[in-house]
Amino acid sequence: MPAIFGLEPYHACLRPEDGVYCLFRVDLHADEDNELMQLIRAVDEYVTHLL
């Protein structure tokens, strides 16, 4: 797995004895007419609105 910069060590967060949670960042890219990307954006907008 490549190095993750600016986030906690990934493998340490997987340890059940002292791991709390893991963070990751993902940049998704797709054409504007991609149905799955449209669904992801709609869900993201809905969830962000709830917060």
Are 13 and 19 in contact, with CB atoms under 8 Å apart?
yes
Q: Is 2 domain-assigned?
A: no
Distance from C-alpha of 26 to C-alpha of 32, rounded to nearest angstrom: 18
Q: 31 in a domain, yes or no?
A: yes
At 50, give phi and psi (nearest 5°): -70, -30
Cα separation, 15 vs 5, whole angstroms: 20
pLDDT number for residue 3: 57
pLDDT given for residue 35 in this prediction: 96
Confidence (pLDDT) at 40: 92
pLDDT digits (tens, 9 = 90+) for 10-43: 666 676 776 566 667 788 999 989 999 999 999 9
> Would 4 be classed as within a structural domain?
no
At 17 the pLDDT is 72
Predicted local distance difference test score (pLDDT) of residue 47: 86
Confidence of residue 50 (pLDDT cuts 50, 70, 90): confident
Range of the domain at 37: 10-50
The total of structural domains in the chain comes to: 1
